[in-house]
Structure formats: C-alpha cells, structure tokens
Amino acid sequence: MINDPELLALVTDIINREAKFLDKRDWEGWLDLYHPDAVFWAPSWRDEETLISEPQTSLNLVFLEGRGKLEDRVFRIETGDSYASLPLDRTVHVVGNITLDSVSEEIVSASANAIVHSFGRHGRQTCASMYEYLLDSSENGLKIKQKKIILIDDAVAGPIDIYHF
Amino acid sequence: MDGPLLNKDFGALVDDREAEGVFRVDRSVYTDPEVFELEMARIFEGGWVYLCHESQIPEEGSYYSTEIGNTPVVVIRQKDGEICSFINACSHRAALLTPRKQGKARVLTCRFHGWAYSCDGRCVRIKQEEEGYGGSEFDKSKYNLRRLPLTQSYRGFIFGSLEEGVPPLMKSLAGAAGWIDLMIDQSPEGLEVVPGSSTYTIHGNWKMQIENSVDGHHVSTVHRVFASTMRNREERDGLTGLAKTEGGRITGKVPSGAYDLGNGHMSIWAQHTTPERRPIYKRKEWLQANLPPGKVEWILNRGRNLTVFPNVALMDNPSTQIRRVRPISPDRTEVTVYCIGHVGEDAEARAARLRKFEDFYLTSGMATSDDMAALEDTFVGSHARSARWNDFNRGLHSMISGPDNLALSGGFEAITSSDSWENENLYLGFYRRWRDLMTTGGKG
C-alpha cells in the first residue's frame, strides 16, 4: 500500500465521482471519467472460490474493451427501447475502503469496496463488489484505464446493467 | 405423493381444439402452487432431465452437483469412463456429499458424521462402525448411495431419470436429437463448456423461460434495441469481420421456421444475413468437406434455438449457449448459462464467441436482460384470474404435419413444421406433453 495522501485524495475523488454520476444518471460525466482505451471488466466465478482470470478464453459477466462499448450501454438506455431499462432502476452506490496499491510513472493502481443497492420494477437487491482500478495519470488529472469489478454475489436477481455494478 | 392433487383436472388447463384453430393454456399453470408441486413430481422427478455436459466431468472422480426437481443429484465420472449419478445425500442423515458445485474426489466423505462412499456409490466407511452397529458381519452395502436408475449421455449431453420405466433416451429425445447433432457435428473433437458461468433468478415461472427461449415472435420488438445498438457501434467504430454482429435476423424479414420436435421439444431458426460474422464460419471448408450439403446449410447459415423438455435450452447463434432452467417455486426460476465451443477452437474465434455471448445472452448483457424484464411482466399479468387464457394460435392454419423439406435436409424428425419462427405450432407439442405427464403420469 502506498502512503501518498495527496494522490489518495485525487483517487478517492474520481472513484466517488463515478459512483455519483451513475446514481445521478449523468452518463456523459460518467463516460468522461474513462480513457478511450479503457477496459470495464466484471469476471464470472470459475468455482466457489476462484474467479476466471483470462477474459479471452473464459466467460465474463461484462467485458467491455474501449470506451465505445460503454457508450453502447448508454446508447441502449437512452433509446428508451430497452425493456429492462424503462423505467430505470434507482441505485445508490456506497464506496469505501479505498487504498492506493501501486504507483508507476503513468498508472496508479487502487482498490475499493462497493455496496450497490437498487430498487425497481424487478424488486430490490443489494450487491457487494470489490473494485480494482487502473488509473491513467499521464495527462492532467486521472482517467480510468481499467475497472475490474469482482461481484461477490454469485447469483443475480433480475436484469443488471453497468449502473448496477 | 400427489394424492391430494389427483382430484384436480389439470387436463382442463389446456384448451386443445386444434381443428377449430384454438390452442390456449390457462395462465394458472404459471402461478398455481399445486400445479408446481405436481410438475416437480411428474415432470421433473418422473422422466429424463438434462443434468450437465460431459466436459464438466472430464476425469475419473470428477463430479457435478445439480438437481432434478427438488432432488439434489451428483453426477460422477467412473473409473471406466462411464457416468453415474446418485442422490446427493448421505444415506445416514441426508447431508450433501459434495462441498462444491463441481470438483474431483476419490471418495465422497460426508462432512457431517464422516461416512464415506466410493465414486461408484458403495458405502466404504462408517465411523466407529463396530461400536455403533455391532460385530464384523455388518453389511454396509445397505447404506450404498441411492443411484439414479438411468443416467445417459447423448453425444456429450448428460441426462438422468429418477424414474426407471421411461422410454430410452434416444427415443425420448425424438427430433431434438437431430438438432443436438447439428451442434456436435461441427467438429470431430467435440464440444467443451468454456470456464465461467452466470446464474440468475427470474421472478417468474420456469415454463416462461423455456417458452421465451424459442419465441421468435418477440425478437423484432424486444431485441430491435440490440440491433440498433450494434448498428451504432459498427458505424462508430468502423468494425469488420468477426467483430461485427449479425443483426439481420433481428430487424429483417428473413426466412425462418419453427418445429414441434416431439415429446415437448421445440425449436426455431432464422436465416443469417451475414453468416461470415459467426465464429463457426472459420470452419466452413471443413464442414463442406465432411458433411452433407443440407447439414452444412443448417449449421452455417441458420441461427438455431432448441429446447429439450423440460429444462434446457441449447442455442447456436452468433454465440453458443447451454441454458439450464431450475424451477425453485411457481414464481422463482434459477437459470444457469454456460458458453460452449469446439475443442481446439482458434483463439480469435473463441474470443469472438465469448464477446458475442456477453453482449447478448447474459442478464448483464444487452438482450437476455430485456427478455427477463419482458417475461417477468408476463408473470405479473398472469395473475389476472378474470383474463384466463394464453393464446398459442398463431400460424396454426399454415403449419404442416410432419417434417418439411428443410427438416429432411437437416436429418431430423418433426411433428409439425412452420415456415415462420413467429408461429406458435411448437408450443402445442410442449403443452400436450405437459398435459399428458400431468394427467396420466405418462412416462418420459
């Protein structure tokens, strides 16, 4: 773990802003946090104790390479034509336990835990996740280069989308 | 077991007047707890049920634990490669014998009192046997695991039955066998389940998930947003080849069809407008060199959804899926989905298969999620007692009896054939099978 309060404050800010943008449905703000080459990845569980590790040869819950694939999800929601997305579930993300794990010249590695509560036509559920971020620091400010979401709930009740993670 | 239910007329829940162009099903089949209870006894615990795929139990001692209705079952690969399944409960006090969904063990040891069983189900150890049961003459074999009377693989897909007096699996599969062949014949090395899976719960009845898996009529409404999202992606990113998604079946008027395959098995297909976007297209030359032209056409150019009665759907579209359906209660259904691919598939095709799976099929994807939302709505609507009937009449006037020419070219049998996947002839087969099992206890 890295002891760098100034950097930790920046990292905490971008992680908290992501949660806020998702809960507020500020899709443009949310997308803008991501690097154009970002990866948004929620692996599935290989078995009770092991996650799949190789996304190119294993099934993921979500594996989106490039910010464009995130834009697809927003596009679908905004068409108003997605059965599962009209009306949208309400969500609250509570994110904490943020740590700086490593820092290199251009990449900051950080992790956090999240509890996401959602409510909507398909009922209410609370899902818990561990987030692992790679943040690009090569330009002014930070951009999300990779977000890996380890959803500890193995069975999901109802449809879920990027804003439920 | 179902004594109190015997006086109820479950047959009246299916209004079968085909000659008048009427086939309707009472919506209480989705909501009534008594219907559900009898379904577990007569449909799930009374006949062949899909258990797992052979690639999930590759070696001696490999096991996969699952359920038939309310009965926990464990499928185990034997020393000689054979496959057996047992009731997954210690003979002593019923504790589950497998700590995991899947794994490998030489001996299954009950973690409650330490009794142990070999992979062929023999009771091989009782803790403090002599003190507890007296003498060395005690016969442990009376505590052997309860073996399922029937466990059988059809070319890798394993089925089991808790009921002994059912027709052989091959006979029971009827026209579904030929549809399973269309998946398996694609590669001499066979199919494998890809690592990883997704499990989700639907607030709805299990039959709704089975119906939805072969419902062509919803595709151009529920999934037009998938097609428009993909079109937007492809234009934005200038994608080519395998990275593109086949959207023609969703938006366009393409040739399609629907089959009642017999014994409750159902299938639909639609022509691909851009088959070159499917991972299987890389094997085109091999297919043409090794299979009859009719089959090659079915494999390469037609997206196909199959349901095998009562609990599994097999999809072969841009991606490929095993969708296992587990009834929990009338209003709760658990679904587990796996991606399957050819053993030895090249890396680019495998990755494309997975990406297409994740885009479309998952509850966290962009199509199955919409399916779930729609069928959960139908479950809510089904509670209206004064609006009693679900219609399955579409296309009854135009369906033909027996297999059409396309079925013959693909090498499978059919009870009825329809030239549009929007039609509902296939559900007649499903609900007649359902009614027969629910009323006569017909074996299957």
Q: Is the ipTM of this complex over 0.90?
A: yes
Cβ contact (<8 Å) for A156 and B374? Answer: no
State yes or no: pLDDT of A158 exceeds 50: yes
Query: What secondary structure letter does DSSP report for A51?
Result: B
Contacts of B104 in chain A (CB under 8 A): none
Q: Name the B residues in 241-300 with CB < 8 Å from any A CB.
A: none
Contacts of A61 in chain B (CB under 8 A): 198, 358, 362, 364
Burial of B308 (0-12, 13-18, 19+ CB in 10 A): buried
Q: By three-state DSSP, how is residue B393 classified?
A: coil
Cβ contact (<8 Å) for B194 and A45? Answer: no
Burial of B143 (0-12, 13-18, 19+ CB in 10 A): middle
CB B396 within 8 A of CB B377: no
- Taking only the tens place, the pLDDT of each residue in B157-203 is 999 999 999 999 999 999 999 999 999 999 889 999 999 999 999 99
Token pair recorded at residue B197: 């899976």
Q: Report pTM.
A: 0.96
Q: What is the distance between the alpha carbons of residues B139 and B117, in angstroms, rounded to a whole number?
A: 14
State yes or no: pLDDT of B443 exceeds 60: no
Chain A closest CA to B144's CA: distance in Å? 28
Q: Name the B residues in 186-215 with CB < 8 Å from any A CB.
A: 194-203
Q: What is the distance between the alpha carbons of residues B403 and B87, in angstroms, rounded to a whole number?
A: 39
Which whole number is the average pLDDT over B17-29? 96
Q: What is the distance between the alpha carbons of residues A151 and A114, in angstroms, rounded to a whole number?
A: 9
The confidence score (pLDDT) of residue A140 equals: 84
Contacts of A157 in chain B (CB under 8 A): 200-201, 203
Residue pointed to by tokens 């885009």: B359
The confidence score (pLDDT) of residue B350 equals: 95
HSE on the CB side for B77, CA within 13 Å? 19
CB B435 within 8 A of CB B16: yes
Strand partners, B256: B270
- State the DSSP string of A55-99: TTTS-EEEEEESHHHHHHHHHHHHHT--GGGSSPPEEEEEEEEEE
Chain A closest CA to B237's CA: distance in Å? 8
The confidence score (pLDDT) of residue B1 equals: 47
Cβ neighbors of B221 (< 8 A, separation 6 or more) are none
Which whole number is the average pLDDT over B128-151? 91
Buried b / exposed e across B355-364, counting CB within 10 Å, b at 16+? bbbbbbbbbb
CB B159 within 8 A of CB B311: no
Q: Please tell me which of the candidates B102, B200, B224 has its beta carbon nearest to residue A156.
A: B200
Cβ contact (<8 Å) for B195 and A81? Answer: no
Q: Name the B residues in 95-124 with CB < 8 Å from any A CB.
A: 100-103
Neighbouring C-beta atoms of residue A55, cutoff 10 Å: 22
Cβ contact (<8 Å) for B366 and A76? Answer: yes
Residue pointed to by tokens 């500890």: A152
Token pair recorded at residue B84: 């057996």
Which whole number is the average pLDDT over B339-364? 95
Strand partners, A107: A136
Which whole number is the average pLDDT over B216-222? 95
Which whole number is the average pLDDT over B393-414? 96
Cβ contact (<8 Å) for A156 and B237? Answer: no
- If pLDDT is split at 50, 70 and 90, which confidence band does B253 have? confident
Token pair recorded at residue A117: 């509560």
Cβ contact (<8 Å) for B373 and A75? Answer: no
Q: What is the distance between the alpha carbons of residues A50 and B41, in angstroms, rounded to a whole number?
A: 35
State yes or no: pLDDT of A123 exceeds 90: no
- If pLDDT is split at 50, 70 and 90, which confidence band does B359 have? very high
- If pLDDT is split at 50, 70 and 90, which confidence band does B251 have? confident
Q: By three-state DSSP, how is residue A160 classified?
A: coil
Contacts of B371 in chain A (CB under 8 A): 83
Chain A closest CA to B427's CA: distance in Å? 24
Q: Please tell me which of the candidates A57, A123, A155 has its beta carbon nearest to residue B200.
A: A155
Query: What secondary structure letter does DSSP report for B123?
Result: E
Contacts of A42 in chain B (CB under 8 A): 364
- Taking only the tens place, the pLDDT of each residue in B34-92 is 999 999 999 999 999 999 999 999 999 999 999 999 999 999 999 999 999 999 999 99
Q: Name the B residues in 214-243 with CB < 8 Å from any A CB.
A: 222, 224-226, 228-229, 232-233, 236-237
Q: What is the distance between the alpha carbons of residues A110 and A102, in angstroms, rounded to a whole number?
A: 7
